[in-house]
Chain A
Amino acid sequence: MIDIAGILMDNILYVILITLGGVLISWSVHFVPVGGAPAAMAQATGIGTGTVQLAAGAGLTGLITAGAMMQITDNMALVLASGAAGAMIMISVTMMVGTWSYVYGVGCPPASAKVKYDPITKDRQDLYVSQGTEGHGLPTVSFVSGVIGGGLGGFGGSMVYYALMSIENGLALPDLVGIASIFAVGVFFVNAVIPSYNIGGTIEGFHDPKFKRFPRAVLSSLVATFFCAILGVLAIGGL
């Protein structure tokens, strides 16, 4: 018989860390400038793919670097920072090459349709938006927002993985790594999907009016991840 209450009380810190990690992932997705299908036709500002897809791509790359780091150090801050660094590299390389595609492949300059002036560079935006589109490419503000989003997502994902790996259990290390990493990927997907209801296909970054809706997603993620955390802690702690 598994002592459910006992396991939960022993690992309450990790339940909190997993929940916090999930909330960070949910918040991070709002920063990632995605334009969905319209952006692939240079019809909307942002990267031409779905919210979940890009956030997961970046966050999971961060999980790989965090997993490698966790093998050689117990320093939580270092594991989380390396996860953030891995995710930031993936997302910035992707956005950089995306810019090549827009500028050299399609022949349109990066422009935002949500703001008249780029909040960071103060560059005029509306004159560079081609007719019948909602902007295209990645202006500096969207790029920086994407880097922040990737970093937060990698940080949150690594936090979930670190907490799951730290739970007391009777598993051999390779089995624990297997279960913890699959659980971390699962928690990541749950929290990457929830914000997509807020975003509704396209968001340009933190300067987009849709960004202000993030508290709703964060609250939903808090509840959803809390249950995931309890399940994860019980599943791993009970083995």
Chain B
Amino acid sequence: MEPLTGMGVLALMGAAATIAGASEDLESDVGSQSNPNSQVQLAPQMMYPHRIHSKAVSGEPPSNALMCAIGGTTASVLVSTGASAALALAIGAIVAATIHGTYAATSYLGRSASQKRFKQPVYLDVMRSHIPVIMGYSFITTFCILVVSYLMATVLAHPFPLPLLAFIWGITVGAVGSSTGDVHYGAERQFQNVEYGSGLNAANSGNIVRKAESGLRNGIDNSWFCAKFGGPVTGLAFGMTVFLSGWITAVFDPSRGDAIGWVSVIAGVIIVLILILWNRNIEVAARKAYGTYKEDENEAEVAA
């Protein structure tokens, strides 16, 4: 393949992956999935009943992998019957979003109903308002992952079948989303009632913010907040993962010989080294800017 075509396809994949990452994180914020959900579930037990949607369908990677594998399988079957790719991918994503919607509904009802003894109400209007949003986000995520997988399978001629590529990218987008954007939701948005600039003190566990900018807080308020930082950075992370892991072989095409293949591996290692140095740079800058939380005991004694 022409290197320029390869780069063009890769850019398109990177863009689709960026949207997939952002919508994946916002989907988990609306429904409150993954690790921060532990606080949403804990809150009623600590006598803080709330109006936040709670859907721990599973960890984000398996639940996104399920969505994407369902979408990929449906699309793959439709393409094999002669349907156009755009139609097949859209229908695949609709099927996946519908199935995800059923999980979002049953898990909310199940979680909330099981906390009846802690006086946690089941809000039917929360279900009515949140589940279409969750399904909308999951449609966007699945469609974009299917676009990435379809481009890989057809244009870049990746040997893995479409459903398997969609499954793997589903696992990866879930892993990226629960590692990056969730921190913004779990550590900041849920605990805006404590001072900014520290981790959650274990003593405050379960004491999540329940009042919104107007009225009682719900999952859609949370996605509004996280769309300003958590969602976009998750998108960047997944977009970078897809783009950079493909970029090294698009620029240094291993089909031109093993030596070029080794150069692509070295390019990957150099990217990783740059990221290590960047992380170190941020670490030093953050420590300098924020300072310490407590005084050094030895120094305090000397000063005294």
Task: Point out residues on A near B: beta carbons under 8 Å.
Answer: 36-37, 39-43, 47-50, 53-54, 56-58, 60-61, 63-65, 67-73, 75, 78, 81-82, 84-86, 88-90, 92-110, 121, 123-124, 127-133, 135-140, 143-144, 147, 173-174, 177-178, 181-182, 185
Contacts and interface: CB of A to CB of B under 8 A. Distances in A.
Contacts of A130: 197-199, 201, 293
A85 B161 contact: no
- Most chain A beta-carbon neighbours within 10 Å: one of B188, B198, B245: B245
B160 interface: yes
Contacts of A53: 59-62, 171, 174-175, 178
Nearest to B185: A40
Given A48-B183, A78-B265, A127 B296 contact: yes
B160 A57 contact: no
Contacts of A138: 279, 283
Contacts of A174: 159, 161
A161 to B, nearest CB: 10
B35 interface: yes
Interface of B: 34-36, 38-39, 59-62, 152, 156-161, 164-165, 167-169, 171-172, 174-176, 178-184, 186-188, 190-191, 196-205, 229-230, 233-234, 236-237, 240-241, 244-245, 248-249, 254-255, 258, 261-262, 264-265, 268-269, 271-272, 275-276, 278-280, 282-283, 286-287, 290, 292-296
5 tightest A-B contacts by CB? A57-B175, A132-B201, A85-B268, A42-B199, A40-B35
A181 B50 CA distance: 44
30 contacts: A41-B186, A41-B200, A49-B182, A57-B171, A60-B171, A65-B245, A68-B159, A72-B255, A73-B258, A85-B265, A86-B268, A94-B179, A95-B179, A97-B179, A97-B237, A99-B279, A99-B283, A100-B180, A100-B233, A102-B183, A103-B282, A105-B183, A105-B230, A106-B188, A121-B280, A127-B293, A130-B201, A130-B293, A132-B203, A133-B201
A133 B199 contact: yes
Contacts of B201: 130-133
B249 A57 contact: no
A173 B296 CA distance: 64
B187 A106 contact: yes
B interface secondary structure, majority? helix
Contacts of B191: 41
A interface secondary structure, majority? helix
B275 A92 contact: yes
A43 to B, nearest CB: 5
Contacts, number: 296
Given A37-B35, A177-B159, A69 B245 contact: no
B20 to A, nearest CB: 14
B38 to A, nearest CB: 5
Given A57-B175, A89-B272, 15 more contacts: A40-B35, A43-B187, A49-B35, A57-B61, A63-B168, A95-B279, A97-B240, A105-B183, A105-B233, A107-B198, A109-B290, A127-B293, A136-B187, A136-B199, A178-B161
B35 A85 contact: no
A146 to B, nearest CB: 10
B287 to A, nearest CB: 5
Contacts of B264: 82, 85
A82 B180 CA distance: 25
Given A63-B168, A89-B271, A139-B283, A47 B179 contact: yes
A83 to B, nearest CB: 10
B129 to A, nearest CB: 25
B286 A110 contact: yes
A70 B159 contact: yes
Contacts of A36: 35
Contacts of B175: 49, 53-54, 56-58, 94
